Amino acid sequence: MIAIDTIQETAERLMEKAAIEIPQDYLDGLRTMADTEDGDLSSFVLQAMLENYEAAKQDRRAMCGDTGCPRWYVKMGNEARIEGGPIALEAALRRATAKSTNDIPLRPNRVHPLWRTDHDNNVGIGAPEIEYGFEPDGEWIDLVTVHKGGLFGTDYRMLFPSDGIEGIKRFFLDSLVAFGKRGLACQPAIIGIGLGGSKDTCMVLGKRAACLRTVGSRNSDPRIAAMEDEFKELGNSIGMGAMGFVGKSMVVDCNIEVGYCHTGGMQMSVHAFCLSSRRAVARIHADGRVEYRTDPEWFTDYQRRETVEWTPPQSLSKSA
């Protein structure tokens, strides 16, 4: 049984780590880009960002003033048991979000869409989002917080099989060029692409590709992994760098996730996880041990499973 106090304390610690500490994979990716960037202005921006990450860690202050919209991904081993059940879990995550917003502090970004009511704690209707995943074995739960920022850089389009890879490339470039100008996408970014599913799941896949996979990771399907390499290179060939200045630092990495879709369609979404890619992860074990990391390890073979434990009825004509 996992104690609810442990969950809340861990969640508070994760909120702080996400806001302040740039994940190592993103930092390594950005350093590589800074080494090869030859646009003067874009280079200046990347150096300033590297200094900023250091300042944030030294001062224990948020790395960016727009601290994004805190959200939670909870993954549970099949044997995990939580004190008070899922209702207590959600209450603890909401408390941790509000308390950390006040304590760190974070910017109280969340408001009512119409009345603009701000509770000054990043909690409200549907906020923070809490999403779930499950794994076959284990008594642990993984808590992942992502504080995704940005009103710019995300788009969706219904494409069709006849659009093909050329259409996918066009929409990818359109999204980067449109939101990269003036640096509105806060690039270089981790670009997540969702392909397939339905409109809603396509958006979820793309967002998770951006936020729950690390720089340097590759899809387990080698043909999709090759597309990830190709799209990263394509994005960096636009001629646009940090802040939309001349340069080649647009895509720190490109992650693609897919889901089975309607036979007539090919849904596509594009998401940009910005220069302050805020994510933090902890595994809480049944005995109360807590292990912190930065890789959500969300997309396991189980999450990408495509088979069913079911045997189709045997056709008589087949055996005849």
Partner 1 sequence: MDTAPKPQQVRLSTTPSRADLEALKIGDIVYLDGLLYTAREGVYKKVCEEGSDLPLDLPAESAANFHCSPAATVNPDGSFNMGAVTATASFRFSKWIGPWIERSGARIIIGKGGMTSKDYREHFVPNGAIYLTTVGYGTGALLGRGIKQVKAVHWNKELGLAQAMWVIEAENMGPFIVDGDLAGNSLFERENARIAANLDKVYEGTRPAVLRRFGETDDRSDEVIG
Q: How far is the CB of 63 from partner 1 (least distance, A)?
A: 5
Confirm or reject binding of residue 177 to partner 1 (CB under 8 A). yes
Q: Is 240 in the site for partner 1 (CB under 8 A)?
A: yes
Which of 247, 254, 281, 298 binds partner 1 (CB under 8 A)? It is 247
Binding mask 118-157 for partner 1 (x = CB under 8 A): x-x------------------------------xx----x
**Nearest distance from C-beta of residue 253 to partner 1, angstroms:** 17
H, E, C per residue of the chain: CECHHHHHHHHHHHHHHHHHCCCHHHHHHHHHHHHHCCCHHHHHHHHHHHHHHHHHHHHCCCCCCCCCEEEEEEEEECCCCECCHHHHHHHHHHHHHHHHHHHCCCCCCCECCCCCCECCCCCECCECCEEEEEECCCCCEEEEEEEECCCCCCEEEEECHHHHHHHHHHHHHHHHHHHHHHHCCCCCEEEEEEEECCHHHHHHHHHHHHHCCCCCCCCCCHHHHHHHHHHHHHHCCCCECHHHCECCCCEEEEEEEEECCCCCCEEEEEEEECCCCCEEEEEECCCCCEEEECCCCCCCCCCCCCCCCCCCCCCHHHHC
Q: Which of 4, 224, 234, 290 binds partner 1 (CB under 8 A)?
A: 234
Binding to partner 1 in span 26-65, by CB under 8 A = 38-41, 44-45, 48-49, 51-53, 55-56, 59, 61-65
Per-residue mark of binding to partner 1, 262-281 (x: CB under 8 A): ------------xxx-----
Q: How many residues bind partner 1 (CB under 8 A)?
A: 68
Residue span binding partner 1 (CB under 8 A) among the ranges 5-13, 77-85, 136-144, 240-248: 240-248
Give the binding site for partner 1 (CB under 8 A).
38-41, 44-45, 48-49, 51-53, 55-56, 59, 61-67, 102, 104-109, 111, 116-118, 120, 151-152, 157-160, 162-164, 166-167, 169-171, 173, 177, 181-184, 186, 234, 237-240, 242-247, 274-276
